[in-house]
Amino acid sequence: MSAFFPETDPFDTGRLDTADGHSLFWQRCGNPEGTPLIVLHGGPGSGCAPKFRTLFDPDRFHVILLDQRGAGQSTPHISLENNTTAHLIGDVEQLREQFGIERWVVFGPSWGSTLALAYAETHPERVRGLVVEAIFLGTNRELDWWHSEAGAPRFFPDAWADFVAPIPADQRTCARSVLDWCFNAMQAELAEGLPILSQLDTAEIETLRGSTLYRWTEYEDRLSYLNNPPDAVLKGLREKGTQYITAHSLIEAHYFRNKCFLDSDQLIRDAGKLADIPMAILHSRYDMVCPAESAFRLAEACPHADFVLVPVNGHGLTEAAQASLNAIMKRLLHRI
């Protein structure tokens, strides 16, 4: 029997129009009379997947999904204008006000954990409960881990070699150089009309790897599971489509180049603001995208939090991680 809940259709969808030119798509599912819970997706740039409608008990929770700026069905697509962490925090708060919700549970995986923590530290009085998974604190150390040879490439040298193959050797010396080169290459692809990525459904992997937008997301997906070979990644990305890859890669590079628009170690520095919020931290031992070190740091800064480490799992939300999330949510309901 699956640890995930059956997928439910949204009972309501709509848009949140901001004052600075963005229109954000949202959907609501589960029980409209249940405990309100907002899901903050990862990436940034990935948008909300249908899988998110299977994470929480639809009888107990009123689940709200929001596509962040430039991502998913939000428009303008892939826009980087007025697209910072502070803008996203403001969007979450505006959505809460629009729905007339006094306080809600906030859940975020990966980048979603970053945004959830930043939102909760900005508006602790509006957070009824906080659950973060696959912890990412937006620090230089984490960014260096992912995009420099001394980090994740030691465990995935083949994936790293495929990712950096077109990058000149003198641009691979540090994470910042890699980020800058990739961002500029992505911008050039977009200006040219996506000549390679437009062939996503038919081209072979080697052809698609001529696209930096493709390689960026492929690299992350290969690191996200204990075993996710290139052919499986390609199949999954074809199902998600060109728009997903473009938004995920470009917006992620935009945020990472700007250190996620956070001060140095800001989320740990301000963790004391979470002391009165029922909180849970879920992480997996073998997460190669967001190393477990960050989860342990957060747990130390928030000793009141329920901390669960999944012993055999990578970055992705699998059956093992979902079973732990279910147990966490049952405990949280008794605390809020």
Residue 225 sits in which domain range? 141-260
Q: Is 287 a catalytic residue?
A: yes
Residue 206, in any domain of the structure? yes
| One domain, residues 234 and 153 | yes
**pLDDT tens digits, one per residue of 63-87:** 999 999 999 999 999 999 999 999 9
Q: What is residue 157's predicted lDDT score, i.e. its pLDDT?
A: 97
Q: What is residue 212's predicted lDDT score, i.e. its pLDDT?
A: 98
Last residue of a domain, one of 237, 260, 283: 260
Cβ-based neighbour number of residue 269 at 10 Å:
13
Rg for the chain, CA atoms, rounded:
19
Alpha-carbon span 284 to 149, nearest angstrom: 22
Vertex 316: Cα angle to 201 and 236 (nearest 5): 10
Residue 78, in any domain of the structure? yes
Contacts 24+ apart (CB under 8 A), 48-53: 48/72, 50/7, 51/4, 51/7, 51/317, 53/7, 53/8, 53/10, 53/29
Using alpha carbons, select from 156, 158, 166, 160 the residue that is nearest to residue 186. Answer: 166
| One domain, residues 190 and 293 | no
Q: What is residue 74's predicted lDDT score, i.e. its pLDDT?
A: 98
Q: Which residues have a Cβ under 8 Å from the Cβ of 141 and sit 6 or more positions away?
A: none
Of these residues, 46, 62, 67, 110, which one is catalytic? 110
Residue 1, in any domain of the structure? no
Residue 5, in any domain of the structure? no
Residue 212, in any domain of the structure? yes
Residue 289, in any domain of the structure? yes
Res 260 pLDDT > 90: yes
| One domain, residues 130 and 279 | yes
**pLDDT tens digits, one per residue of 228-254:** 999 999 999 999 999 999 999 999 999
Last residue of a domain, one of 260, 287, 319: 260
| One domain, residues 245 and 160 | yes
Total tally of structural domains belonging to the chain: 2
Task: Evaluate whether 218 touches 161 at the Cβ level (below 8 Å).
Answer: no
Q: What is residue 173's predicted lDDT score, i.e. its pLDDT?
A: 87
**Confidence at 1, pLDDT banded by 50, 70, 90:** confident
Residue 6, in any domain of the structure? no
Q: What is residue 71's predicted lDDT score, i.e. its pLDDT?
A: 98
| One domain, residues 99 and 169 | no
Q: What is each CA distance from 271 to 19, 266, 279, in whole angstroms? A: 30, 8, 11
Q: What is residue 26's predicted lDDT score, i.e. its pLDDT?
A: 98
**b/e burial code for range 91-110 (CB count within 10 A of at least 16 → b):** bbeebbeebebebbbbbbbb
| One domain, residues 108 and 180 | no
Of these residues, 67, 91, 162, 287, which one is catalytic? 287
**pLDDT tens digits, one per residue of 103-129:** 999 999 999 999 999 999 999 999 999
| One domain, residues 33 and 100 | yes
| One domain, residues 266 and 254 | no
Alpha-carbon span 158 to 80, nearest angstrom: 31
**pLDDT tens digits, one per residue of 3-44:** 999 999 999 999 999 999 999 999 999 999 999 999 999 999
Mean pLDDT of the chain: 97
**pLDDT tens digits, one per residue of 319-331:** 999 999 999 999 9
**pLDDT tens digits, one per residue of 187-218:** 999 999 999 999 999 999 999 999 999 999 99
Q: Is 2 a catalytic residue?
A: no
Q: Is 221 a catalytic residue?
A: no
